[in-house]
């Protein structure tokens, strides 16, 4: 088995001087490009829902009208998140990530999407709850409003659940690449100081 030793000039600089920069860059590039594409998808979904929501809501009545209205209202939030996420990904693309930074960034983004996945399930549950309240409401207007809003929230939550599930899967694949690389690393003391060894 061959071994290549990389000695750090200053341990306080962390792993930013780690010579596997091309690998670090590829992990960061995959993460940021995935986020950028996801925000484009989310932004497109938001734009379509806002436009169609207001147009169709003006041409329908009853439950359908409230359904399309909520689609439009909900996606103002999605649109704002998409813009912020896209700009954040573009900014991160200009940054050089060290090994420790990539580990932290991967853990952070996976936790974020796992949290979002849980929120999506809550949205869907809330949507069904509103529909059920609408079925039992005595006022016809309240029935239409609650059922229409509930159906819209179920749809929007379902879309986000699918999107966040795909994002979790993609980022997990990126983490798997990173973890395989880490398995070959060993940190120990050498004759010239603290050393980082990669076995392959």
Give the model confidence (pLDDT) of 56-108 as tens digits. 999 999 999 999 999 999 999 999 999 999 999 999 988 887 888 888 999 99
Supply the Cα-derived Rg of the chain in whole angstroms: 24
**How many domains does one find in the chain?**
1
Residues 6+ positions from 33 with CB-CB distance below 8 Å:
89, 93
Q: Burial-class residue 4 by CB neighbours within 10 Å (0-12, 13-18, 19+).
A: exposed
In degrees and rounded to multiples of 5, residue 185 shows phi and psi of -95, 140
Is there a contact between 154 and 163 (Cβ–Cβ < 8 Å)?
no
* Residue-number span of the structural domain to which 156 is assigned: 3-199
Q: pTM to 2 decimals?
A: 0.79
């Amino acid at each position: 088995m061959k071994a290549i030793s990389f000695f750090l000039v200053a341990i306080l600089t962390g792993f930013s001087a780690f010579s596997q920069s091309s690998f670090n860059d590829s992990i960061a590039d995959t993460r940021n490009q995935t986020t950028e594409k996801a925000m484009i998808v989310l932004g497109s979904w938001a734009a379509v829902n806002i436009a169609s929501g207001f147009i169709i809501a003006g041409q329908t009545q009853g439950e359908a009208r409230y359904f399309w209205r909520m689609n439009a209202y909900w996606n103002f939030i999605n649109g704002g998140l998409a813009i912020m996420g896209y700009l954040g990904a573009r900014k991160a693309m200009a940054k050089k990530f060290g090994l420790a930074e990539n580990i932290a960034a991967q853990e952070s983004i996976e936790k974020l999407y796992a949290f979002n996945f849980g929120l999506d399930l809550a949205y869907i549950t809330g949507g069904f709850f509103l529909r059920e309240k609408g079925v039992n409401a005595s006022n016809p207007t309240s029935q239409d409003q609650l059922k229409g809003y509930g159906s819209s929230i179920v749809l929007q939550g379902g879309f986000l659940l699918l999107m966040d599930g795909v994002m979790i899967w993609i980022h997990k694949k990126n983490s798997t690449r990173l973890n395989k690389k880490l398995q070959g690393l060993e940190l120990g003391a050498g004759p010239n100081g603290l050393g980082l060894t990669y076995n392959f």
